[in-house]
Every structure is written in C-alpha cells, then in structure tokens.
Amino acid sequence: MQDSIVNLKEERVILFDGVCNLCDGVVQFIIAKDKNNKFKFTSLQSSTGQSLLAKLNLPTDSYTSIVLIVGDRYFLKSTAVLRVLKELGGFWKLLYIGSIFPRPVRDFFYDLVAKTRYKLFGKREHCKIPTNDIQHKFLE
C-alpha cells in the first residue's frame, strides 16, 4: 500500500467492515451506481485498511463506522454515507439534504444500525473476495 494514496486529491477510498453482510450490500450498491469509477474500496480488517486507519490516527480495532477518505481528509459514519451519496450524483445526491440535520442526530441513528447490523443482516467468517469484474475497484 502506497502512503501517497491518502494524499491524492482525486482519490476516494471507502473503508468498510469486510465481514458484515449489510456493509457488503452497501459496497455492492455503490459499485453499481458509481458510473464514473470514483471510489476504491478496502475492508477495515485488511492490512491496507489497518494501515490507512493508523495513518489517520483512527482506532484499528473498531469496525463500527464506514470511513470515506477523500485526499487528505476523512469522514465517518453518517457524514461519510451522505458524502458518498452526493458523489454518486443523480437522484442520490438529493439525499445529501440529510446533512441539514446535526451530526449527533444523524450519527445516533447510524449507531443504532451499526450496533444491530450483525443481528439483523448477519456476518461472514471472512471478508468476501471481489469477483474479477470488480477487482480493480479494491485496494490490496
């Protein structure tokens, strides 16, 4: 993993919980809607994900938040989700209106889902391996 990836202004990297079925579904949704190939992905548990978390001084042992890295900035939880939707464009960017709600309110609901995601959606033993047609969208 190149250290420069976090410093590139054009790079958008999404770190996600690689064993979470809900998170995998969200990644698959983003891939399907990301017509301009703006996003790259890596799991929080991967060596690349761990390296990026450490570089950003974020906890490396907590997988309850999606992390969106844009250049040398990063976004967590509901803010990350809203920014991804905005970047997807089209109808999805209209959902960015949710940013008018205070972050603590948005993150309260985000945390409710995060705490129950395994119970509601299940989890796998290992991170899913991307298929050949989307492998280029994943780091590591």
In 3D space, the residue among 74, 68, 114 whose CA is nearest the CA of residue 88 turns out to be: 68
User: Can you give the pLDDT at residue 75?
Assistant: 96
User: Can you give the pLDDT at residue 112?
Assistant: 95
Number of domains in the chain: 1
Higher model confidence: residue 72 or residue 110? 110
CB 36 within 8 A of CB 64: no
Residue 122 lies in a domain: yes
In 3D space, the residue among 60, 61, 49 whose CA is nearest the CA of residue 6 turns out to be: 49
Q: Is 60 exposed, middle or buried (0-12, 13-18, 19+ CB in 10 A)?
A: middle
Residue 111 lies in a domain: yes
DSSP at 76: E
Residue 1 lies in a domain: no
- pLDDT, one tens digit per residue, over 110-126 is 999 999 999 999 988 76
User: Can you give the pLDDT at residue 10?
Assistant: 65
User: Can you give the pLDDT at residue 63?
Assistant: 87
Read off the pTM: 0.87
Q: Check whether 84 has a pLDDT greater than 70.
A: yes
State how far the Cα of 49 lies from the Cα of 132, in Å rounded to an integer.
Answer: 20
- pLDDT, one tens digit per residue, over 91-115 is 999 999 999 999 999 999 999 999 9
- Cβ neighbours, 10 Å, residue 107: 17
The CATH number covering residue 88 comes to 3.40.30
- Band of residue 68 on the pLDDT scale cut at 50, 70, 90: very high
Residue 61 lies in a domain: yes
Q: Check whether 134 has a pLDDT greater than 90.
A: no
State how far the Cα of 91 lies from the Cα of 94, in Å rounded to an integer.
Answer: 6
CB 38 within 8 A of CB 122: no
Residue 140 lies in a domain: no
Backbone dihedral angles phi then psi of residue 80, each to the nearest 5 degrees: -65, -45
Residue 17 lies in a domain: yes
Residue 118 lies in a domain: yes
Higher model confidence: residue 26 or residue 136? 26
State how far the Cα of 131 lies from the Cα of 68, in Å rounded to an integer.
Answer: 22
User: Can you give the pLDDT at residue 137?
Assistant: 84
Mean pLDDT over residues 54-61, rounded? 93
Question: Which residue segment(s) compose the domain that 12 sits in?
Answer: 7-126
